[in-house]
A and B are shown apart, each in its own frame.
Chain A
Amino acid sequence: MEFRYDKHNKYHRFARGCVITVISLIALLWVWWVVSIIVQKSLVVNISPLASPQSAFAALFSLMQNGDPLEHRSLWSWVWSSLSKFFKGFILAMAIALPVGLLMGNFRLIREFLTPWVEVIRPIAPIAWAPILVIIFQATNGSIMVVFIGIFFPLLTNIVFGVQKIDPVLIDAAKTLGASDAQIFIKVLVPSTIPYLMNGIKVGLGVGWMCIVAAELYNTTLSGIGYFVKFMIDNASYDYAFAGIIIIAVLGLLTTGVAEYVSKVVSRRMGVDI
């Protein structure tokens, strides 16, 4: 039977997307492989800092089975210490950005007062705080604070934007139905902000994941996947370092993928498209 691609068939479109993605990833591995050979040839020393894909994947499998080659700690223990810091930073950012964002969005004076603070601090790369925060809060909490800063601003700006974007006629409607100011805040303002909050979470998680990995380079608690990469590089185990980088990439993809999916579902449920 002859196969024809039908662009109106959603299964065909999905299959097409999958095929292209797989080809693209194979091409990426090939480019990596070629570049690693070029780097290897150009070096005087025997071990190239740019591990080849084969050695990186070999190291990855060994890492999954036997843990790391130096201390024999399991892969999960490395990953978990990053993830737990990441989630703590995220929860802290939510806990502060949500009330502050709602207040800033709702009250003009607070917004006008705090906006300069936000605009001065926000452009500073979160990771620039890492050296100071690690000293102030110690290694673990310092990393959490870096993640907090990374996630906080996307969350805050999206919430403020969401509150201001609310259709004023919805507030009018609530008033004519007898809602008090507090009820309008909780029953109208907060729900109408949720899709924007989800958008902030989506952006924030991506930034936050970059922050935790980078912050761990300054880490002196000797834990976390970011520190793992640095630890392996310091010991010239470049194949393991790249195995760590692959894990970072996959986990980053997973967190943003999940956030994107959840945000889509929530937005649809809330009847808002952004």
Chain B
Amino acid sequence: MANSNIIIEGIKWGRDRIRGDRADELYVDIHEGETLMNIDKLRIVYRIDDKEIVAVDDFTIDIKKGELVSIIGPSGCGKTTILRCIAGLLQPTSGTIMIGNNEVRGAGSDRGMVFQDFALFPWRTVKQNVQFGMEMAGVSKEEREERAMRYIKAVGLERFAESRIHELSGGMKQRVGIARALVMHPAITLMDEPFGALDAQTRNIMQEQLVKIIQRSERTILFVTHSVDEALYLSDRVVILTKRPSTIHKIVEVPWDRPRDRTNPEFTQMRKDILAYLEDQNVMDN
């Protein structure tokens, strides 16, 4: 490994973590198109008082290196819960999540996360937010500075590098969130409805920018959304979940090259079909 200050430690769940920047180097042996992450029979059960609620059941999927997979499903179906398990922020009731040969047993820097409500540190500037992970990994000041600026430029915020978070608009905040996750070179980036808090227009711009970013650098992204349009615009594959207990209803391959044309009749037809299914599920709920 070229730059290996990556450390894997711990034995107990939640204490087990991979830290260090460029954790993607752990998985250089896995080539593009090969399975990077394997989720096997994931089951998540909540306990509220004496009632057990099965949020997710029998969720099994392989994610290949370099692909963008969206998870979509009826509201409240546990999409975010799945993502939190992969991030290691939540312990699944049963089932395994493997990234390469490492089983997920806690949070780690090989899985970056972009949060719906940004989760930026308000006492830090844009640049300091982007540097946070590298600071934790003990990256030198010069390298931190250089890499942070490169990613801030990539998301078009160079004029705001020294700004504080409350001075930014929602779209700008999420660009900081994306830069902060990607600068760490995670093996896989988890995005939890990243554009859900933004207005429709900003949302479209952000989607286009994300397409540009993933075209420039090969990234493996797992993307949770409740917008069918967004899922079809961005993803290589769309995982459609059933209502609770969530399990995979269907995985749709999206064949077109990016950037995509939303007005393409096939695109529209595919969107219609998925929407009809989701509506059906929501109606059954009521």
Which residues of chain A have a CB within 8 Å of any CB of chain B? 167, 169-170, 172-180, 183, 187-188, 191-192, 194, 269-272
Query: With A169-B117, A172-B115, A183-B136 as given contacts, are A177 and B123 in contact (CB-CB < 8 Å)?
Result: no
B136 & A176 in contact (Cβ 8 Å cutoff): no
Q: Tell me the complex Cα distance, A179–B111, Å.
A: 13
CB<8 Å pairs between A and B, sample of 12:
A170-B121, A172-B119, A175-B89, A176-B109, A176-B112, A176-B181, A177-B133, A177-B184, A178-B17, A178-B184, A179-B136, A269-B123
Query: Among A167, A176, A183, A194, which residue has its beta carbon within 8 angstroms of that of B87?
Result: A176
- Which of the four size classes fits the interface of chain B? 35 or more
Whether a CB of chain A sits under 8 angstroms from the CB of B122 is yes
Residues in chain B near residue A173, CB distance under 8 A: 113, 115, 119-121
- Identity of the chain A residue whose Cβ is nearest the Cβ of B116 in the assembled complex: A169
B123 & A178 in contact (Cβ 8 Å cutoff): no
Query: With A172-B89, A269-B123, A271-B164 as given contacts, are A178 and B115 in contact (CB-CB < 8 Å)?
Result: no
B121 & A177 in contact (Cβ 8 Å cutoff): no
Which residues of chain B have a CB within 8 Å of any CB of chain A? 17-21, 23, 84, 87-89, 107-109, 111-113, 115, 117, 119-123, 132-133, 135-137, 164-166, 180-181, 184, 190
Query: Among B23, B132, B137, which residue has its beta carbon within 8 angstroms of that of A174?
Result: B132
Query: With A188-B121, A270-B122 as given contacts, are A178 and B133 in contact (CB-CB < 8 Å)?
Result: yes
B196 shortest CB reach to chain A, Å: 14
Q: Tell me the complex Cα distance, A33–B282, Å.
A: 76
Residues in chain A near residue B123, CB distance under 8 A: 191-192, 194, 269-272
Q: Tell me the complex Cα distance, A261–B244, Å.
A: 52
Query: With A178-B108, A180-B136, A187-B136 as given contacts, are A167 and B89 in contact (CB-CB < 8 Å)?
Result: no
- Identity of the chain B residue whose Cβ is nearest the Cβ of A270 in the assembled complex: B123
B249 shortest CB reach to chain A, Å: 28
A174 shortest CB reach to chain B, Å: 7
- Identity of the chain A residue whose Cβ is nearest the Cβ of B84 in the assembled complex: A172
A191 & B136 in contact (Cβ 8 Å cutoff): no
Q: Tell me the complex Cα distance, A172–B86, Å.
A: 13
Counting chain B CB atoms within 10 Å of each CB, the highest count among A167, A174, A175, A176 belongs to: A176
A165 shortest CB reach to chain B, Å: 13
Query: With A170-B119, A270-B122 as given contacts, are A175 and B180 in contact (CB-CB < 8 Å)?
Result: no
